[in-house]
Every structure is written in C-alpha cells, then in structure tokens.
C-alpha cells in the first residue's frame, strides 16, 4: 500500500518569488504615459522634445504634442519650423480646444512676422465652441492686440470688453484693461468718436463710448462735464468704469474750477516788436469781449515790457492781485520770468507767447507760439499720412532754412527710415539751378556730355531727372513760389510723374495772388483755411486792411485768451484738446502748446487754385472735389466713396454724417454774375442724382425706404473760392 508523504509549504518562501516578479515588472514598465496634455499652458520644453513625444503617440494625444511643439516654435521665433507644423496640424482631425489653440499659435506667428491683417482674418473662434475660459481670454486679448496694431481702436476696445469678462477676478488686471479701453477710445477726435456705434447687446462698450463722447464733446464747459460724468457714474454703479475709473475721469472730477479774475498781458507794445505785439493784444481783447461767459468782475491789466521795468511790473502784479499772466513775447523776458517764478513760492500761472531755448521745469509757465518748426513738423506728419515716401525740402539758405530742415527731419524720423532730400536757395537767380541740381538734371547733362566726348558721335539724348522724389515741401514767399513751381515742372521728364507740391504759410500772404500756382497745397491756420463766416466778417469790419500775417498774430492772441480757462484741464488730462483759431490745441509734457488741424490728424493744408493756365475740365473737377472732401471731413463727415458712376449718372462724394449717408454734388463757378454755382444743379440733374443714389444704395444692400440719406450741394464760387454748404438741397420726392 502506497504511503502519501504530505509536505508543508512555507508562506515566506511562497511570497518571495511573487514579490520579486512584481518588482521586476514594475522596473521594466517605466512611468505611465499621459493620456492628454493641457495645451492651454505655455510651452516649457523645446520643440524637439515635444516632437519626440508626438512621434511616440497617436490620435488626439499626438495632436496635443504637435500643438505644444508649434507653440514652442512660435515662442522661439522658428518661423519655418512653425509653418511646417501649422500645415501638418491642419490635416489632423482636431477637437474644438485643439482648433482654438492651433488658431492662436498661427495668429501669433503672423503677428510676430508683422502680418496683422492676415492674423486677424485667420483668428475666428466659433461661438458654439465649448472652450475653457483661458482660451476665450487669450482669443480676445490677441484680437485686441492685433486691432491696435491696425489702428482699429474701437474694435480693440470691443475685444478688451469681452476679454475682461473672462479675465481673472483681479483688480489690477481689470484696472489695466479699463485703462487700455479708455486709451483706445480717446484716440478718436471729437468728430470721429460720434461715428462709432455699438450693437444693442454691447451695454458695457456702449457705456465706455458714452463716457468718451462726454469727454470729447463737453470739454469746453468744465462744470457741465464734471456734473455729467458724476451723474453717469452714479447712475451706472455696476459698470466697470464706476469701479475701475480711468485716471483722466478721476482728475476731471477732482479739478477745482477757478477762472482767472485778474489777468496781466505783458507785451512789448513799443519798439522793434511793437506792431506784432499790438496785433496779439488786439486778438486777445477781441476774444475777451466776445466771451459771453466772462466774469463781470474780471479785469485785464496791459503792460508794455519795453517801458515798465521788471520791478514795476512785479509791483503792479502784486497790487492788482493778478492771478494769470499772458506773455511775455520776447525770449529774453521769458527767461527772466522763468527765474522769477522758480524763486517764488506761490508762482502765478503764466502763458508765455514764445518758446525760449531752455525750458525750465516747475515754473508754472506754458508756452504758445506760431513756430515755423511746429508748422513744418505738421507738414512732415501730413506727407507721411498721405502716403508720400521720398520728400524734398526747398528752403531759403540761412537760419530759417536750418530750422526747417531740422524740424522736418526730426518729425519724419518718427514715421519713416527714408532719407529726406534738402536743397537751399539763396536768391531768385539761383532758383532754377538749385532745382535742376536737386532733381539730378545737371548730373544727367554732364553724363551726356561725357558720352559725346568718348564716342565722338552726335547722340540723340535727353537729360533724365531723378524719379525717387514724390513730394516737395517749399518754404518760400509767394513771389518765389511762382518761380519754383514751373522750374520743377520743367525739371521733371515728360514720361515721369510730377511730385506733389506743398508750401508753408509764408506763401499765403493774403495779397493779390500770383498766377501758375494751380494744384499747390499750402499750410495755414484754421482762421485762414476754414470757412469762419461770422468771425471773419467781424474781423474784416474792424480791420479791413489786415494781411494774413497780421491775422495770424491776432489769432495767436485769441488762442491765448481761450487757453487761460483750458490749461488746468489740459494739465490734468493727457491729450485734452480745445479748438482754437490756430488749430486744435493740446500741450506736451513741457506744457508747450501743440497745434493740430480740426477734425483730422494731419497738417492744415488747403489747395490753392490761382492759375489762369489751361487745365482740363476733369482736372478742375478733381481739384474742387478735393477741396469739398477736405471741407466736409473737417466738419465731421467721413468719406465712403468718391466718383460713383452708374448708367444714370455720377455722384461726386458719398459721405457719412453720424447715421446719415450724404450724397454730395460739388459745383464750382468762378464768376457769379451769371448765376451761382448751386443753380447749376437743375431739376433734370436732380432726378439723375436721385436715380444714381438709389443704384448705389441697392448695391450696398440698403433699403431706399429705411436708410437715412440726404443730398447736399457744395458750392465753391468767386475768386476767393468761397464754400457754401447747402444741406438737404434736393428733395427725395
């Protein structure tokens, strides 16, 4: 009988190999592979590292790693590698989150490569996408950045409002966003901002816009502005502006209103600058007497700085309790005032009427002048804004020419790296030689002569002018300008384009105009450029014989009066402006008054039509349409289209005025003895305009019945090109 031997198993001996097997298995498997990646985070590895992980993954996880590799490439500035990854990812099947992150990286690459337009067009999240807040936040922030790059500040503000809804509940971030929205909206003029519109669902943006409109349109009446802002903030406590109020609004609300009641006007009324000083005085008093809101007890003390000593002036200031000084005019006297103000504990606010060589800080002095440098800087800005790339300056040899050259070049450098050509002339006899030299005609003639000598042949040749100059800014008197213009025309080859010609205010003397200046643009102050009917009528009645130069000095005096009230607001609010007779007035960091043109950011330019030379009918029409367009733009309208042509007729200008579309017909008549320009729009012509307007509206998809539109006539007539703007001139019946 077989005997069974039972062996007893030891527990420790049994567990040992099991534990060993588990340990070995753990060692051989390595770390667990992640199943997803948070692609909304910034990359912390190299592109190559992310690519290795992508190559060892599949499906959606592989797409995550590819997107992180793309973000790392964009961050490192590897454009070629990023472009290849963009194309590879585009072929993949992506989730909504992946599509969003791919769009963001692609747009950022385009932004980095200075392609904001393409970036904006390719950055389009779908509203139904279910995305984390971080992606919506990045989306709206990037679109805001791109809009600012494109100078589309209202669209940038719209995106920032949406960004703030997804941003963290962080006071610092929300305040920065509010300040940025405010800065963008304040990039618009008082005319442009009225054109901006929000949709019914954009309550927050509409609130910001309303506040900006108040600041732009009520700035001439500080008490009204303060009351309006205060009421709005109280009535809208939930709006971000009530919690994160921009500093500019806070400063306005905190500003104590105190109008000067005792003003001193310090001018050299006798001596070398006596006539100029008297004109400034007349302009100041003219503005003061026309101020209907002037305090009844306000007083003015006029002192002649060439007669009264500094000690006498100081005693008079103290005796009359003067609380505002206008002047002095002479630079040396301004320097003395600076020193006196620095040494005085309670300095009197002052507006000097010139700009000294050295601007002293902490003197409580601002500076206003009709400076050639400011006018030239405006010209440089204007030329660049109009698309000119290669300007030439023609200026008189000497101190004025040097100042003009320096001012133009300094301003031009802000916008362009292209060099500015310069030519100085000394007298009329050298003008043609100067012009030929700067346009390269003399060098061309010398090269032709060299070829003739070398080849000993009678070559048929023509001197060639340089072709890179596209605009000429001329600092000259009218008598010089009438010579310079034809010299330039002759110097340019017939097959080349004539450069645009611009001239400064020296050429606009107001005396009898010279001939052959058709098409020349000249810069000047609004009082002389814009149609200020009542004001000019009153000035002409008081001073009928005054030249334009005398009127400019009077305008300076008027603006000095306007600035007395406005300077506290200008100091408190960056970019604060008021419309003046010498331009739209602002101040810089040194309290030097800057002048911009009304209703636009470029220089004060108007086209002269002074020639009796033969030009085509179309050229005349184009010239006067340009005048009409500039005039309407200065009065708050914006251009939609010019010279719309249909079978039934043509419309000269299609403009927008707030919510109204304006169809403008431009008519010109030099002599009015046979009728006025507006009378040229006959009943038959009116019917053609109506039909043409209807065609345009239908092409835009607009209803003739529900769209607000009107017909205006811009009548330009008489030897002085007087502009008469007739609104609603044609009935729509």
Per-residue pLDDT band at 492 (split at 50, 70, 90): confident
- Other CB atoms within 10 A of residue 683 CB: 7
Name the CATH code of domain 615-726 (choices 3.20.20.210, 3.40.1350.10, 3.30.70.100, 2.70.70.10). 3.40.1350.10
Residue 609: its pLDDT value, please? Answer: 36
Task: Give the dihedral sign, CA 106/111/113/116.
Answer: positive
260 closest CA partner among 176, 349, 333: 349
**Distances in Å between the alpha carbon of 674 and those of 113, 677, 695, 716?**
61, 10, 33, 15
pLDDT in tens, 76-91: 999 999 999 999 998 9
Residue 21: its pLDDT value, please? Answer: 45
Rounded mean pLDDT of 21-50? 70
Residue 513: its pLDDT value, please? Answer: 54
Q: In the CATH scheme, what is the code of domain 47-254?
A: 1.25.40.650
Q: Which two tokens stand for residue 589?
A: 């960091």
The pair phi, psi for residue 612, each rounded to 5°, is -105, 5
**Distances in Å between the alpha carbon of 534 and those of 412, 539, 548, 619, 686?**
37, 9, 17, 32, 31
Residue 5 predicted with pLDDT over 70: no
Among 20-34, 177-191, 526-540, 641-655, top mean pLDDT goes to: 177-191
pLDDT in tens, 582-591: 988 999 999 9
Residue 224: its pLDDT value, please? Answer: 86
Among 357-366, 508-517, 670-679, top mean pLDDT goes to: 357-366
In which residue are the tokens 């103290």 written?
318
pLDDT in tens, 595-616: 875 433 333 455 443 333 333 4
707 closest CA partner among 640, 656, 670, 669: 656
Q: Which CATH architecture has domain 262-367?
A: 3-Layer(aba) Sandwich (3.40)
Coil, strand or helix at 689: helix
Read out DSSP for 625-661? HHHHHHHHHHTT-EEEEEEEEETTEEEEEEEEETTEE
Share of the chain above pLDDT 70, in %: 83
pTM of this prediction?
Answer: 0.60
- Other CB atoms within 10 A of residue 525 CB: 24
Residue 176 burial (C-beta neighbours within 10 Å; 0-12, 13-18, 19+): middle
Q: Which residues touch 74 (CB under 8 Å, ≥6 apart)?
A: 82, 105, 108, 109, 112
Q: Which residues touch 341 (CB under 8 Å, ≥6 apart)?
A: 347, 348, 350, 363, 364, 365
Share of the chain above pLDDT 90, in %: 44
Residue 483: its pLDDT value, please? Answer: 85
726 closest CA partner among 694, 669, 671, 681: 681
Least confident among 177-191, 208-222, 346-360, 506-520: 506-520
Distance CA(498)–CA(492), nearest Å, equals: 7
In which residue are the tokens 């010398």 written?
446
Q: Which residues touch 213 (CB under 8 Å, ≥6 apart)?
A: 193, 194
Q: Angle of helix 96-112 relative to helix 59-76, nearest 10 degrees?
A: 20
Q: In the CATH scheme, what is the code of domain 372-524?
A: 3.40.50.2300
- Other CB atoms within 10 A of residue 445 CB: 15
Same fold, 372-524 and 615-726: no
Strand partners, 646: 649
Residue 260 predicted with pLDDT over 60: yes
Q: Is the peptide bond before 328 cis (omega within 30 degrees of 0)?
A: yes
In which residue are the tokens 């310090």 written?
266
Residue 308 predicted with pLDDT over 90: yes
Rounded mean pLDDT of 211-232? 87
Per-residue pLDDT band at 300 (split at 50, 70, 90): very high
Question: Domain map of the chain by residue range?
Answer: 47-254, 262-367, 372-524, 615-726
Long-range contacts of 691-695 (CB under 8 A, 24+ apart): 691/646, 691/648, 691/649, 692/644, 692/646, 692/648, 692/649, 692/650, 692/651, 693/651, 693/663, 695/646, 695/648
Q: Which residues touch 608 (CB under 8 Å, ≥6 apart)?
A: 508, 513, 517, 518, 520, 521, 522
């Amino acid at each position: 009988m077989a005997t069974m031997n039972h062996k007893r198993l030891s527990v420790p001996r049994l567990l040992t190999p099991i534990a060993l097997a588990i340990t070995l298995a753990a060692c051989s498997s390595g770390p667990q592979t992640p199943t997803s990646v948070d692609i909304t985070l910034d990359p912390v590895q190299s592109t190559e590292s992310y690519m290795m992980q992508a190559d060892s993954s599949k499906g959606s996880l592989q797409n995550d790693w590819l997107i992180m590799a793309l973000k790392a490439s964009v961050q490192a500035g590897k454009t070629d590698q990023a472009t290849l990854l963009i194309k590879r990812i585009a072929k993949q099947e992506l989730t909504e989150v992946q599509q969003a992150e791919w769009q963001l990286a692609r747009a950022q690459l385009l932004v980095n490569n200075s392609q904001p337009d393409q970036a904006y067009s390719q950055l389009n999240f779908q509203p139904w996408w279910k995305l984390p807040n971080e992606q919506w936040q990045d989306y709206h922030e990037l679109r805001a950045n791109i809009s600012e790059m494109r100078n589309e500040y209202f669209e940038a503000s719209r995106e920032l409002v949406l960004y703030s809804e997804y941003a963290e509940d962080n006071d610092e971030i929300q305040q920065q966003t509010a300040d940025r929205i405010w800065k963008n909206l304040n990039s618009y003029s008082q005319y442009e901002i009225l054109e901006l519109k929000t949709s019914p669902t954009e309550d927050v943006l509409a609130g910001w816009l309303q506040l900006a409109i108040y600041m732009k349109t009520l700035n001439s009446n500080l008490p009204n502005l303060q009351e309006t802002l205060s009421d709005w903030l109280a009535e809208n406590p939930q709006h971000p502006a009530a919690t994160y109020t921009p500093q500019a609004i806070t400063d306005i609300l905190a500003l104590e209103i105190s109008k000067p009641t005792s003003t001193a006007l310090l001018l050299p009324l006798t001596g070398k600058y006596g006539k100029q000083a008297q004109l400034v005085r007349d302009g100041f008093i003219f503005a003061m007497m026309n101020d209907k809101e002037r305090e009844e007890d306000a007083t003015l003390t006029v002192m002649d700085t060439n007669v009264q000593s500094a000690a006498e002036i100081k005693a008079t200031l103290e005796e009359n309790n003067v609380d505002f000084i206008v002047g002095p005019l002479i630079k040396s006297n301004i320097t003395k005032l600076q020193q006196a103000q620095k040494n005085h504990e309670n300095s009197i606010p002052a507006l000097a009427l010139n700009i000294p060589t050295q601007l002293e800080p902490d003197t409580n002095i601002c500076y206003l002048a009709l400076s050639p440098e400011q006018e030239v800087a405006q010209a440089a800005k204007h030329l660049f804004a109009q698309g000119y790339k290669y300007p030439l300056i023609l200026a008189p040899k000497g101190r004025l020419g040097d100042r003009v050259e320096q001012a133009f070049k300094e301003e031009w450098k802000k916008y362009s790296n292209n060099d500015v050509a310069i030519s100085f002339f000394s007298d009329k006899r050298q003008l043609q030689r100067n012009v030929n030299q700067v346009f390269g005609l003399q060098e061309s003639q010398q090269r032709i002569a060299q070829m003739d000598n070398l080849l000993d042949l009678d070559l048929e040749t023509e001197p060639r002018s340089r072709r890179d100059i596209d605009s000429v800014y001329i600092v000259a008197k009218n008598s010089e300008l009438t010579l310079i213009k034809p010299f330039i025309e002759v110097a340019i080859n017939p097959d080349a384009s004539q450069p645009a010609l611009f001239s400064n205010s020296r050429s606009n003397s107001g005396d009898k105009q010279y001939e052959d200046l058709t098409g020349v643009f000249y810069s000047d102050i609004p009082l002389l450029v814009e149609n200020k009917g009542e004001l000019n009528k009153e000035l002409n009645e008081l001073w009928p014989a005054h030249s334009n130069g005398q009127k400019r000095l009077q305008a300076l005096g008027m603006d000095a009066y306007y600035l007395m009230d406005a300077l506290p607001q200008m100091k408190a609010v960056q970019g604060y402006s008021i419309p003046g007779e010498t331009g739209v007035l602002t101040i810089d960091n040194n309290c030097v008054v800057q002048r911009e043109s009304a209703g636009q950011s470029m220089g004060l330019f108007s086209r002269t039509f002074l020639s009796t030379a033969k030009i085509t009918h179309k050229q005349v029409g184009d010239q006067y349409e340009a005048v009409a367009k500039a005039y309407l733009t200065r009065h708050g309208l914006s251009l939609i289209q010019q010279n719309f042509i249909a079978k039934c007729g043509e419309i000269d200008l299609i403009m927008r005025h707030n919510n109204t579309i304006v169809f403008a017909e431009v008519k010109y008549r030099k002599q009015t003895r046979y009728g006025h320009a507006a009378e040229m729009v006959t009943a038959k012509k009116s019917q053609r305009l109506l039909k043409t307007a209807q065609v345009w509206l239908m092409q835009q998809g607009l209803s003739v019945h529900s769209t607000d539109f009107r017909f205006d006539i811009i009548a330009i007539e008489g030897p002085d090109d007087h502009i008469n703007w007739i609104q609603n001139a044609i009935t729509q019946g």
